[in-house]
Amino acid sequence: MKYFIASLITVLFGISALHGQPPATIDVKAEGAPLISSSVIPIPLEVFAALDKLGKQNWAGQLEKRDLSPRADRSRSALLFGLAISRGFVAVQAKDTDEIKKVGMAVQRLAGSLGVSRPVEGRIKVIIETVEDRNWDGVKQEFDRTRQTVLNEMKTMRDDDLANLVALGGWLGGTGALSSILKENYSPETSDLLNQAGLLMQLKQEFDKLPAGIKRDEVFHKIEQTLVALEKLMTSEPGGVFTLAQVSKIHNETHLLLDAIYGN
């Protein structure tokens, strides 16, 4: 099965660069695809590599000042951890050194609230050092390694449900940035990056498997509703093209959910 998604594995990026266009599909059975439980969820590194193919963008305008403080509910903190990683990528794209450092510290605090602080400490130190060298690609790699370190630790602790929420948060953050960029710089060709109905179906299935105790917070009802809405909205007509009105609806649904997760 093939999912039209906003991110693509590295080998496909190399092929697409030869043609100067971001490819639009990924084979979820391909070697190297990022597996979370039984599903495939695109990671921020892939999402932002796809966005790089769209050329120069107003990344500084995507840096929203949101509260990334740990929450009492670990489920909410897991979502925020994923969102923090995505914000780190936006900050790197904007080359905003101060924001990168702030996000790094937020990632450290959120990791602590999830019980995985020690493995992350070294990663954050490397992020800060790499920022000082203005090695932007290196910073993105370190943010991604931090994300993977936390996922691995959670799985070791049998916190698979929280690991899924970290992955979901990362996807939402990346998709929020993607929809904003596509709305601001609409073109029929690049709108195909939002053709993700198959992925949304998988996300819903994984979300539905989460135990009731994980989804106590009312924000999870909003997540459930939004995933249903996005599955319909991210199904394009033949040819994979979305209108500007459709892109705007996807943007609005995604950002209303992000507001709810942040607590706005």
Q: Convert the pLDDT of each residue in 197-252 to its tens digit.
A: 888 888 888 899 999 888 888 899 999 999 999 999 998 877 778 999 999 999 99
CB within 8 Å of 213: residues ≥ 6 apart: none
Largest CA distance in the chain: 49
Tokens of 239: 């040819």
Q: Read off the amino acid at residue 208.
A: D
Model pLDDT, residue 13? 25
Average pLDDT, stretch 159-183? Answer: 89
Dihedral (Cα; 22, 23, 28, 31), 10-degree rounding: -80
Distance CA 49, CA 238 (A): 26
For helices 160-184 and 44-52, the axis angle rounded to 10 degrees is 20
Model pLDDT, residue 41? 57
Indicate the pLDDT class of residue 51, thresholds 50, 70 and 90: low
Q: Please check whether residue 178 is in contact with residue 190, taking contact to mean a CB–CB distance below 8 angstroms.
A: no
For helices 136-156 and 97-113, the axis angle rounded to 10 degrees is 0
Residue carrying structure tokens 């996005």? 230
Name the least confident of 42-46, 133-137, 240-244.
Answer: 42-46
Q: Please check whether residue 86 is in contact with residue 125, taking contact to mean a CB–CB distance below 8 angstroms.
A: no
Give whole-number Cα distances, 205 to 2, 199, 210, 227, in Å.
17, 10, 9, 10
Model pLDDT, residue 61? 85
pLDDT greater than 50 at residue 27? no
pLDDT greater than 80 at residue 135? yes
Tokens of 183: 């709305």
Pairing of strands 35-36, 39-40: antiparallel
pLDDT greater than 80 at residue 5? no
Question: Could you tell me which residues are beta bridge partners of residue 203?
Answer: none
pLDDT greater than 70 at residue 9? no
Residue 86: domain span: 2-262
Mean pLDDT, the chain, integer: 80
Residue carrying structure tokens 């992955």? 167
Indicate the pLDDT class of residue 42, thresholds 50, 70 and 90: low
Tokens of 151: 């996922």
Taking only the tens place, the pLDDT of each residue in 53-112 is: 677 788 888 888 889 999 998 999 999 999 999 999 889 988 999 999 999 999 999 999
Average pLDDT, stretch 106-123? Answer: 91
How many domains does the chain contain in total? 1
Alpha helices per DSSP H over 94-159: 97-113, 117-132, 136-156
Model pLDDT, residue 37? 42
118: exposed, middle or buried (Cβ count in 10 Å: 0-12, 13-18, 19+): exposed
Distance CA 30, CA 238 (A): 24
Q: Which of 145, 148, 141, 165 is closest to 219 using CA atoms? A: 165
Distance CA 226, CA 242 (A): 19
Q: Please check whether residue 121 is in contact with residue 108, taking contact to mean a CB–CB distance below 8 angstroms.
A: yes
